[in-house]
Structure 1
Amino acid sequence: MACSDAGQQAFEAWLNTPPGRYLLDWEQSQLDAAVADRFGFHALQLGLPVIDGLRANRMPQRWVAGRDLLCHFDALPFPSDSLDLVVLPHALEMAPDPHQLLREVDRVLRPEGRLIIVGLNPTSLWGIRQRLGQPYLPRAGEFLGYWRLRDWLRLLSYEIEVGRFGLYRPPLRSEVWLERWRWTERIGARWWPVLGAAYYLQAVKRVQGTRLVGLKRARRLQPKHATAVAMNPHSKDVHD
């Protein structure tokens, strides 16, 4: 299982539109700030390689599925409890089975590892317009509500560390009109924060009875559960 090619292509095409760029700028800034000081050895991004969620991170080994690694999302080529950070930019929205994707991410993420998710808010003005039959957002799959996703993560014993919303301008297609409504950002964040068009969620994996003493030393990750094709076998820093 992976994000459907058609869905991902539709989403990437939409990101080239004025509202898509507006979304991309917000999400990229959230991810850059979140991963810059996140330490460990191994980090993975699943979904939408056009969003470079690991570019500000400095872990020795970083993979972006679809760019550095080809793999099935329901059978990731990593041992259990081996990754320090997993970033999911819209991967759950495009997955045929988001529950299975989350379970597989939980398998490979080590105790105390971080999971970061960005998604579209179905209860925002953008989402409401979409549900009223006036297509505005990419038809890439099911948009998962923020509170629903929090419940899923808690069932998997994750602790929510950070949750926030953003993007309060109306669902307009023109860059000129989006700019004219810039003033709504400050007001929306103060008076109706949960109605932002997008959300950011960061959670930590908690395992009862587990005590970590330092960090495990880096080790070579051997595929165990699926065949993967490395597109860029040598990790390297990515600069803006």
Structure 2
Amino acid sequence: MAQRDQDIYASKPMRGLFAAEAQALAGELQRCVGAYALQVSAVAHDQPPASPMLDRWVHLHLDGNRCGGDLRARTDEPLPFLNDAFGLVLLSHAVEVAPDPQVLLREAARVLAPGGMLALTGMHPASGWLPWLLWRGRAGVNLESPLRIGHWLRGAELNVERVQRVGPLWPSSANVPHHGGPLGGGYLLIARKRRQATAPIRLRPRAIAAAPVAGLAPGARRSTAA
């Protein structure tokens, strides 16, 4: 069944949806700046999108209980990266195949730098893509609504900035406009990690006491001769 799922993501309708998502994401990526970006994908040989302001991509591919790609790890363990390591995290249909989507989102939030961008793509459950998955055999593919994903992200201290439907309403091998409007079969979600707010403190001017007489402790009196 794992190979059947891989065939779904390699199909011509899915390639068309990937193109629609890439077009919708292109403008956001032009503004992303950082040394490292992370892509977690449902596709084994997925190529990271063009992003001239990002120095290097790290690619991970979810395959059941394991991650492949640039590094090898298990999905039931934390991602092998430091906190706040990436200026951009791209989850390309990864939520659909993750054993525990909430764990994946929490880990994505953990490794995302403060102020960094999380971009997430997927098939919308309220579209014609769900019957298509049922027909193709959807074992291991779980469609989550962007509304529910947004709720999880807010719990992980991310602000959802934009949710956009993209692609055709139902799978098609024909050439279709990339942007499907409000009934697009796929979606793009953009969120940012909230920075740790530091309360500004204004120091009030404070009067400086006069220096005491040298040699005497404060409050002491000099004795006088009788």
What TM-score, normalized to structure 2?
0.72
1:136 and 1:198 map into 2 onto residues whose CA distance is: 17
Residues in 2 aligned to 1:76 and 1:31: alpha-carbon distance in whole angstroms: 24
User: In the TM superposition, what is the alpha-carbon distance from 1:72 to its structure 2 partner?
Assistant: 3.1
Inter-partner Cα distance in structure 2 for 1:114 and 1:137: 33
Whichever residue aligns with residue 197 of structure 1, its letter is G
Higher helix share: 1
Counterpart in the other structure of 1:141: 141
Larger radius of gyration: 2
Residues 87 and 117 in structure 2, CA contact (< 8 A), matched pair in contact too: yes
Question: Superposition RMSD on alpha carbons, in Å?
Answer: 2.6
Structure-2 change in CA distance of 1:59 and 1:136 (3 Å): same
Supply the distance in 2 between the matched residues of 1:163 and 1:135 (Cα, whole angstroms): 27
Name structure 1 gaps, 5 residues minimum: 1-5, 212-240
Q: Distance in 1 between matches of 2:114 and 2:132?
A: 38
TM-score after normalising by structure 1: 0.69
- Of all paired residues, the percent bearing the same amino acid is 31
Q: How many residues align?
A: 190
Please name the residue that 2:85 is paired with.
Answer: 82
Correspondence for 1:39 among 28, 33, 36: 33
User: Alignment partner for residue 126 of structure 2, among 123, 127, 132?
Assistant: 123
Higher relative contact order (CA 8 A, sep 6+): 1
Instruction: Give the unaligned 5+ runs of structure 2.
Output: 61-67, 200-226
Higher strand share: 2
Question: Aligned match of 1:23 in 17, 21, 24?
Answer: 17
Distance 1:210 1:87 in 2: 28
| Partner residue, 1:59 | 54
Deviation at 1:40, TM superposition (A): 1.0
Which one of 161, 171, 189 corresponds to residue 201 of structure 1?
189
Following the alignment from structure 1 to structure 2, what is the Cα–Cα distance between the partners of residues 110 and 210?
16
CA distance in 2, matches of 1:210, 1:71: 36
